[in-house]
């Protein structure tokens, strides 16, 4: 089976455990900067616009303190994922109206729909687990975040 793993596309330098954003606009800006650290984003502004445009269709704040902002854009060379933790929480217009503490953000080339959808489904499945979300929220390092996700994906 050819299972793409989140950790194949998430680099330690694209993990932030202390986001400074206080609102949705700031959060998207900060998350786009994390994506850019991967070296796989050709155009920062286009990527940010693609994420904002996706949010206009409906919030990617899926509830339980989690948001999965994502976009398809020609400025992504390959699928790229970043992860952020906001200790104070961000009002992200989530479906349950709760603040968001955990952000999985990703950008994908326009042509890469299959992998994009698999990764979206995989993240959605993993974050349903209350214990896993709690571990992510309390992680002490970017390395620990990647290890937690890797462990969870293998089980």
The answer to whether the CB of 116 falls within 8 A of the CB of 78 is no
* Residues 120, 143: Cα–Cα separation, whole Å: 22
Size (the chain), residues: 155
The answer to whether the CB of 19 falls within 8 A of the CB of 141 is no
**Residue 124 appears among annotated catalytic residues:** no
* Residues 17, 112: Cα–Cα separation, whole Å: 28
The answer to whether the CB of 136 falls within 8 A of the CB of 144 is no
The answer to whether the CB of 85 falls within 8 A of the CB of 136 is yes
Marked catalytic residue, from 11, 54, 70, 122: 70
Listed in sequence order, the DSSP H helices in the chain are 6-9, 24-36, 44-57, 113-126, 130-138, 142-154
Could you give the residue numbers annotated as active site?
Answer: 70
């Amino acid at each position: 089976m050819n299972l793409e793993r989140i950790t194949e596309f998430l680099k330690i330098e694209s993990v932030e455990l202390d986001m400074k954003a206080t609102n949705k606009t700031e959060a998207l800006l900060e998350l786009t900067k994390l994506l850019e650290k991967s070296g796989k984003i050709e155009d920062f502004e286009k990527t940010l616009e693609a994420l904002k445009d996706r949010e206009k269709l409906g919030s990617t704040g899926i509830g339980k303190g989690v948001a999965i902002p994502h976009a398809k854009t020609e400025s992504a060379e390959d699928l790229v994922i970043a992860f952020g933790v906001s200790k104070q929480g961000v009002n992200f217009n989530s479906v349950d109206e709760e603040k968001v503490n955990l952000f999985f953000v990703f950008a994908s080339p326009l042509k890469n729909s299959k992998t994009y959808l698999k990764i979206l489904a995989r993240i959605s499945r993993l974050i349903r687990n209350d214990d896993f979300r709690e571990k992510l929220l309390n992680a002490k390092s970017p390395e620990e975040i990647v290890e937690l996700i890797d462990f969870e994906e293998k089980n």
